């Protein structure tokens, strides 16, 4: 039998242990630290109301500090600060319709260039695999040789013909070129389209007839039509023109030559949705392109590359109010009658070097486009 003293000591120790267990706070996992948004993040998403002032004479440009040229001062509908159209980045071409937010209040962050895998690029541009490429190229060259042999011996004035663009030989570099275009289109929430599109709520295809043009329209020759179709076939195979879409903080998205381009080279067709001009009178899109100027103004058509388009949508315009601006022009936009339909084609007007940006004159036909703020 154990001694009484040892039994009493064991009982006391048990009571102490039990007491310590009962009084010890239960272990609980600490709640995660709640992260609060900064005031700047809250203000970016906060609702706002436009309050008109009685007097705007004291408004100055937040960038240059000047209050001159008040007709070109844009007022942000959120922070109430003023910005010259030529000072804001990217440059504002025309006065926006409706509310306008400065780059800071609208987020001011450009969508970063996305990385596209080869499969995604092929799917994005719907590239078709073609096995008879050599046969097609040979047949085109043979046709040109036959035309030279059967030509008349009478001396005639040489007419300048379109040249097909020469794709970059390196396939990986071509993927980079197409990836830059895919990134730009995705950033603007656009779909790629290398054709004019006709939507039910816009102008029908039957409205696009070259015979409706006031004063007539020049017809694209058979040789140039073959060159254009040859270039379109190359694009469908993934052999695009040597062009790269880049982002500039002043000009926004623009196009650079990724290889030498010769004078009179076919670059691209201007594509997008076809609509009546009367439906776009209050549209502040800076990429509308005249397609048809009909005798009846209500039948005139424009190309709207706001939902669908190709690389032509990103080629910049020159400032034709200055001599330096006019010197930048290295391609032109010309309207042709192709198989009875109006089409707009972009063609090089001189040799273009690698790394040079592409520019053409926006003022081609019916009205003066406001290009004085172009860089």
7 within a domain of the structure (yes/no): no
Q: Give the separation between CA 224 and CA 294, rounded to whole angstroms.
A: 25
At residue 314 the predicted structure's pLDDT band, cuts being 50, 70 and 90, is very high
| Predicted pLDDT of residue 236 | 93
| Alpha-carbon 20 to chain mean position | 72
Range of the domain at 76: 61-95
170 within a domain of the structure (yes/no): yes
| Predicted pLDDT of residue 45 | 65
Q: What is the pTM of this model?
A: 0.67
111 within a domain of the structure (yes/no): no
| Predicted pLDDT of residue 135 | 46
Percentage of the chain modeled with pLDDT above 90: 41
CB under 8 Å, gap of 24 or more: what pairs does 158-161 form? Answer: 159/221, 160/264, 161/221, 161/223, 161/224, 161/227, 161/264
* Rounded to 5°, angle at Cα 121 from 115 and 127: 170
pLDDT digits (tens, 9 = 90+) for 224-280: 999 999 999 999 999 999 999 998 877 788 999 999 999 999 999 999 999 999 998
Q: Give the separation between CA 204 and CA 195, rounded to whole angstroms.
A: 14
CATH (domain of 351): 2.170.270.10
pLDDT digits (tens, 9 = 90+) for 23-38: 555 566 666 676 777 7
251 within a domain of the structure (yes/no): yes
294 within a domain of the structure (yes/no): yes
Residue 336, token pair as written in the block? 């042709």
User: What is the bridge-based pairing of β-strands 266-269 and 341-348?
Assistant: antiparallel
Q: How many domains does the chain have?
A: 2
User: Torsion angle of alpha carbons 70, 71, 76, 80, nearest 10°?
Assistant: 30
The CA distances from residue 27 to 33, 144, 298, in Å, are 18, 88, 79
Return mean pLDDT, the chain. Answer: 78
- How many other C-beta atoms lie within 10 A of the C-beta of residue 349? 14
Question: Does 297 score more than 60 pLDDT?
Answer: yes
Q: Are residues 292 and 218 in the same domain?
A: yes
202 within a domain of the structure (yes/no): yes
Residue 75, token pair as written in the block? 């007022």
Q: Are residues 191 and 295 in the same domain?
A: yes
Q: Are residues 204 and 311 in the same domain?
A: yes
24 within a domain of the structure (yes/no): no
């Amino acid at each position: 039998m154990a001694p009484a003293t040892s039994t009493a000591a064991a009982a006391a120790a048990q009571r102490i242990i039990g007491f310590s267990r009962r009084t010890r706070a239960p272990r609980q996992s600490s709640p995660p630290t709640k992260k609060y948004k900064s005031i700047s993040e809250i203000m970016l998403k906060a609702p706002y109301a436009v309050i008109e002032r009685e007097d705007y004479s004291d408004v100055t440009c937040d960038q240059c500090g000047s209050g001159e040229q008040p007709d070109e001062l844009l007022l942000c509908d959120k922070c109430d600060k003023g910005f010259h159209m030529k000072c804001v980045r990217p440059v504002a071409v025309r006065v926006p319709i409706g509310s306008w937010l400065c780059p800071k209040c609208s987020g001011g962050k450009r969508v970063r260039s996305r990385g596209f895998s080869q499969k995604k690029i092929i799917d994005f541009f719907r590239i078709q695999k073609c096995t008879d490429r050599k046969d097609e190229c040979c047949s085109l060259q043979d046709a040109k040789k036959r035309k030279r042999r059967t030509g008349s011996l009478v001396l005639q004035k040489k007419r300048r013909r379109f040249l097909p663009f020469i794709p970059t030989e390196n396939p990986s570099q071509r993927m980079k070129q197409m990836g830059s275009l895919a990134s730009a289109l995705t950033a603007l929430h656009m779909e790629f389209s290398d054709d004019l599109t006709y939507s039910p709520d816009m102008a029908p295809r039957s409205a696009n007839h070259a015979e409706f043009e006031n004063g007539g329209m020049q017809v694209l020759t058979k040789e140039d039509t073959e060159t254009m179709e040859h270039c379109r076939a190359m694009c469908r195979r993934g052999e695009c023109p040597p062009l790269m879409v880049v982002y500039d903080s002043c000009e926004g998205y623009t196009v650079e030559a990724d290889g030498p381009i010769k004078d009179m080279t076919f670059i691209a067709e201007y594509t997008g949705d076809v609509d009546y001009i009367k439906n776009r009178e209050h549209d502040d899109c800076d990429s509308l392109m005249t397609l048809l100027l009909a005798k009846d103004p209500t039948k005139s058509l424009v190309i709207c590359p706001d939902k669908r388009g190709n690389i032509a949508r990103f080629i910049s315009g020159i400032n034709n109010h200055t001599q330096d601006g006019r010197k930048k022009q290295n391609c032109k936009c010309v309207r042709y009658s192709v198989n009875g339909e109006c089409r707009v084609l972009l063609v090089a007007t001189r040799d273009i070097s690698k790394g040079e940006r592409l520019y053409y004159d926006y003022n081609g036909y019916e009205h003066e486009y406001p290009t004085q703020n172009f860089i």
